[in-house]
Structure 1
């Protein structure tokens, strides 16, 4: 039976990929003759549709990118709190012994000193346990905590630690995250007027694959959400680079322990509980990107499987008659999944324009998307958030079909073969 399910998943992946590609190409393929004296005027609907799609695609990223740059500029240097209350900085770890020092040491270097770092480890992860206790022995403001109550997930580790700590604010970071020294202080200052502050994370573009992860973060995470943020009160609230009132986390019930991407579901949980989430683009954290294509693919497939799982869950929990945010949450989540699926059809439009001689439209559209991405990269470079600035931006057009193929693969496997598998990216060991 397992073999049949695997074959169903493979056939489904191939079929959906071909249908999306073919559908994007043949849509409007026919030509319609309109008699205007002689000779008849022939309108190539395929070319017109492809031109419209390319213009819309480029226009979306142009407007969204300008909004993102404006928001980044408007943030400037936000206020800094010196002591607004105790912060418990939670660092859940699993197989992260080699990189754990990055988050712990950067948090200890924070300008906000009323802070304790809690490294929360799993009982079956001896290397991380040993490293956590070493750091706790070396630093007075570091605590090592074993997740004994809700073992087996990052969400469970966060929820358990929240029950244990006595702090006004709870912050959550990844083990490999290098937190900007001013981020926590700025977040606490923002929390005077909101419930949750979500910071920005930047994959360090140290190589080709790492740069692809960086461009993906810019375009498909932060830039692409601008329109959604303009028309709704929804804001992303993740499980890294986030600081919140402890009561806010308690009110939502914490992170869902059965979700593959607990942060994706948590954002909608905050939205449905009407928590005020504020995005803080200043003082971004650096994170380690995937170093190989296999890791990049596996990590994204895990995320997108989680998106499908969360969307399924939100759809089941939707109660239209109680609060409009319930069905709207499900629609936004499903829209995220659908957008990933149909990005592949953009390649079909590229092909139509290339075949029909629309190189000016094709090159112009791609140039706009690349220019917006480079504008963000230049800003990050000037602000010292990234060090590398090479020619890998030439690979930006490849990002969209790759991302879409992963989305299709993840959805098909979720429907046919997924049984709770979790992919872990290999992270480097260094003394930096």
Structure 2
């Protein structure tokens, strides 16, 4: 939950200062323990990981639940941090199961077809990672509330959402997911980037200071991942929460802070000319069309092997499956971020409206206000502005619910269009594999 939303719900809330260095250090301690159980475990984020315990359970003659219980106890004893776990035949179900017995618990979905089908049949579609609020509303409109409702509606899914959506939803119904667990660095990267959110700024010197700082941070990330970028993307979020992006192709692949700053500055200057009153709250840089800086090996007769471009390498079924899940997860994250931005924007509008009312009360002349029929907040008595506000309330019903606490209200209408999501088919999971997800 965003802090500004939490403060709206609880004005007396006390927010403790964040300490990312401490979080990172604790994460390293926990990962060191995970490595004892699966040396090639996959760290999804600072507080998430997937492990394949098949080999560990076989060597130690342990049941998966016993192995997980032992590992969780070791983490708690050595780091004083409790973890929750999900145990299942694939990563998708393991992640869902990890939320079942929070906090400090574990839940297992047996590696049996009947058990998996029953588990998914009763599962709300919103619980599947990658199904965001918008997609949930669209599915609900055709009677799909749980994964068990997907199969009866299979005939219309392709026509409504596309072939990739059909495959993704059928995988959800069948409980299919990826079974290959490997370190994150083994996956092919499409881009390397960093961005930073801050309080609203509107000074050119501040823009350049932020840009240089981000360029230095991106240089470190590129060095760590051993890449250079042929395309440089500048991302800006305005004070109005509108997101703009610009990109350029430097004459050579770039990776140093000096080059990143030099080639991104003209894009920023162009934005400043286009928008004289430019104010922003986020700035980011991203490199795409990556070129590896790793030293290639020397093969027979002294010839150096040339890695094939990504376009020449056909995606394996596993890679296609990973791309599908990543695309859905990214779409859901972006959707959530947009909702938070809209919430904050609406919150600011309410604050500004309250300030205007206070100023009007203090002045001798009282302006006329009309109450919005949707949110019941007073609006300036001007036809165009009032109509725009009503349209905004109608199109952002979900946000209105969050602000007013009317969680039982039904949205006036579903969004006109959903985000484009990459969805592909996947392979059937190996029943011998046991997947864990920690959160």
Q: TM-score range by the shorter chain?
A: under 0.3
TM-score, normalization by structure 1: 0.23
- Rg comparison, structure with higher value: 2
Normalization by structure 2: what TM-score?
0.23
Structure with the higher fraction of residues in helix conformation: 1
